Structure 1
Amino acid sequence: MLSSFTIPRLLQWLAGAAVACFTILMGTKVWPYLSFEPGINFLTTKSEVTNSRGLFRLGFYVHITSSMWVLAAGLAQFFPRLFQGRTALHRNLGKLYVFSVLALAAPSGLILASFANGGLVAKVGFTLQCLVWWLGTWQAYRLARQRRWEQHTEWMIRSFAVTLAAMSLRTESYVLFYVFGTKPIETYLTVTWLSWTGNLVLAEVVIQAGAARRLLRSFHAAPATR
């Protein structure tokens, strides 16, 4: 049994455990916001005028709630064993992920990008992140409709890499500030770009290493029903 637990699979499960823990942690962070009070954590960094804007509040609450199930639904797609005999579950979770990114999380992220602190550098960084996220997810969906499964899987990896920018942003902020001693504004402006561009670079590395092909083999190896 241990011999079949290869290094790539071990790394896959370790990364999955980290993302699952982050998703749970984010759930505990999101919960207080559901009181819809303006003086909570992130909202205190915004001006009273911004907090009173209906568009900002709509974008904020849609983004923080939809991003939770985007993380959960997206993560599950990379563990084919969860779908043994449950092909329909994989398909439905994939549809939930795609719909949530295209209709909710990415558009609401664009709204928040227009209100980002840090000036033009931050606004452009977050805006491009949301556009790349939307386009990458749409491409993954389009390829699935065409039944081009390997390319679909590659684009799902890229899409989920951008989804994980929320996790990378917090990790990189901690490392830059506490390990490298960067100033708060330098840290913030750096991670607005590094959090998603760095993830896309890592995504290309794992794609070139054959991650998409391994995932497809795992799906085909799993007994499917309906």
Structure 2
Amino acid sequence: MESLGKKLDRAGQVVHQGLAVYGNKGSTDQHAYVQQLRDGVDNFFASFIEVLEDPAEIAPIDGEVPADFLSGFLQGTRSALMEGGRQSLSITLRRLDATSLGALIALFERAVGLYAELVNVNAYDQPGVEAGKKAAAGILELQAKLELLLADGVARSLEELRQSLALDSPEPLFWILRHLCANARGYQANGQWGQPSSLLFSRG
């Protein structure tokens, strides 16, 4: 999803392009997942991946072969979606091994690249991912400054901490301090968590 989720296309035009990809195996999430796909908004296609050879490490249980149930779920789900007019495609592997798994990954990698070409976005530029990493680094830097400020043992409110650290909002401080206070780091919060403005934070 990170390769296709783009705000801008290659011409710099705002397009908000992307695909949401979800997956499960066997009967996992059968109720909520398939119910949504069959009777919900028809804005998707489903990809079924089938492995013909049963895994040797899964032995029969009371004479029943677990893989038979998985095969039944696959065929039943595919049939239910077809009856609901939903689009799908099926990919069949003879067996699951390093070769077939590698080929499957390569197939979807190429599908992503092709789709990106069709909608004119750069699949290999990921500014959203980079923005998340930079934001996380900024939070860790802010935490270090906050811990240094509270090292003197003086109790301070969120607003006092915000002013001392020259922030526009106390919200990141609240999240950082909530984490620190919950993990025996020596930080204390006096007041009501449900009323952040009442809290006084200190390091004992």
Query: What is the TM-score when the length of structure 2 is the normalising length?
Result: 0.22
* Larger Cα-atom Rg: 2
Query: What is the TM-score when the length of structure 1 is the normalising length?
Result: 0.21
The structure where strand makes up a greater share of residues is: 2
